[in-house]
Amino acid sequence: MELRWADEAEAERVGALLAGVREVDGRPEETGFSGDRHLYAEDGGELVGYANLDTAGDSFGRQVAELVVRPDRRGQGIGTALTGELLTRADRSVRLWAHGDHPAAAAIAERAGLKRVRELLVMLADATTADWPEPAPAAGIALRTFEPGRDEQAVVDVNARAFDWHPEQGSLTVEQLRATETEDWFDASGFFLAEDRGRVVGFHWTKVHPPNPRRFGGERVGEVYVVGVDPDAQGGGLGKALTLAGVRYLRGLGLGKVILYVEGDNAPAVAVYSKLGFGRHEVDVQYGR
């Protein structure tokens, strides 16, 4: 087996590898990774493993890496070799994702001297039985849906204030939001804004995922994609009202399950979602030195 670094992504080969991994693991959701450095593990010309290093890093400047091994070549040291090479090239602050908290990833991390530094919980609710009453925002707060071409800057401003602590979400830009509006899954009718005397103070952006045979029973699922509340408007139940508006909308689409991602150490948010019928379903882990 040979390891080879490249600055260019071999989209077709990598896409085929990721698709094969997804058929077995249900992950990754993406058909490619966004980092700028690419590490290929090849055996006889065949791609048997791949790692991606994002040198720009997260919102705090920490480099981020992801890696996969072809399912029929697991248990042969390929993941260990990819991890070792990544750690040789990356900054000491690098973090490696393990989606789904796979036991093999935990073993590789332990051998490499890495520790669990972040847990991202996937929580799930049964939309057919959950008690989701009509949202009741505080007096003076009005809920409406997102208008493309009008609301981008207001959403980005609230997002930056609400997620200044978050490794990924806090860096959302107007250009990125507008680009997302061109995606097939984007639905302005499921993007709720909260206004206080005309000023946007919160939002709930929902998403619908196509069926994945390896996850969530193979059903389409809705997602509480992002809920953001301006710090000046927190504490009055606005986050709950926005969440209810979104999950009721997703249930109205005929979806039986709704998921969300939340930081494992965000106890207040986990408590709110638990009261709304969400329970821990999966966990994604970041390992670091």
What is the C-alpha separation between 122 and 105, in angstroms, rounded?
18
Peptide bond into 28 cis (omega under 30): yes
Given a cut of 90, whether residue 245 has pLDDT beyond it is yes
* pLDDT of 31: 65
Q: Among all chains, which residue has been given the structure tokens 């992002």? A: 226
The answer on whether 258 is annotated among ligand-binding residues is no
Judged by average pLDDT, the poorest of 69-78, 121-130, 163-172, 260-269 is 163-172
Is-contact 133 251, C-beta < 8 A? no
The answer on whether 223 is annotated among ligand-binding residues is yes
Q: In what order do the strands lie in the sheet with 115-126?
A: 2-6, 37-43, 46-54, 64-69, 95-98, 279-288, 115-126, 257-263, 221-229, 199-209, 191-196, 141-145
The answer on whether 84 is annotated among ligand-binding residues is no
The answer on whether 276 is annotated among ligand-binding residues is no
CATH 3.90.1200.10 matches 124-283: no
The answer on whether 115 is annotated among ligand-binding residues is no
Question: So where are the chain's domains?
Answer: 2-113, 124-283
Is-contact 155 178, C-beta < 8 A? no
- pLDDT tens column, 53-97: 999 989 889 999 999 999 999 999 999 999 999 999 999 999 999
The answer on whether 246 is annotated among ligand-binding residues is no
The answer on whether 86 is annotated among ligand-binding residues is no
The answer on whether 168 is annotated among ligand-binding residues is yes
The answer on whether 239 is annotated among ligand-binding residues is yes
- Residue 106: how many other CB atoms lie within 10 Å: 15
The answer on whether 234 is annotated among ligand-binding residues is yes
Given a cut of 90, whether residue 171 has pLDDT beyond it is no
The answer on whether 21 is annotated among ligand-binding residues is no
The answer on whether 69 is annotated among ligand-binding residues is yes
Share of the chain above pLDDT 70, in %: 100
- pLDDT tens column, 7-47: 988 999 999 999 999 999 998 877 678 789 999 999 999 99
Domains 2-113 and 124-283 share a fold: yes
Provide the token pair at 204: 């709930």
As a CATH number, domain 2-113 is 3.40.630.30
Is-contact 185 220, C-beta < 8 A? no
The answer on whether 286 is annotated among ligand-binding residues is no
The answer on whether 64 is annotated among ligand-binding residues is no
Given a cut of 70, whether residue 259 has pLDDT beyond it is yes
Tell me the average pLDDT across 252-278. Answer: 95
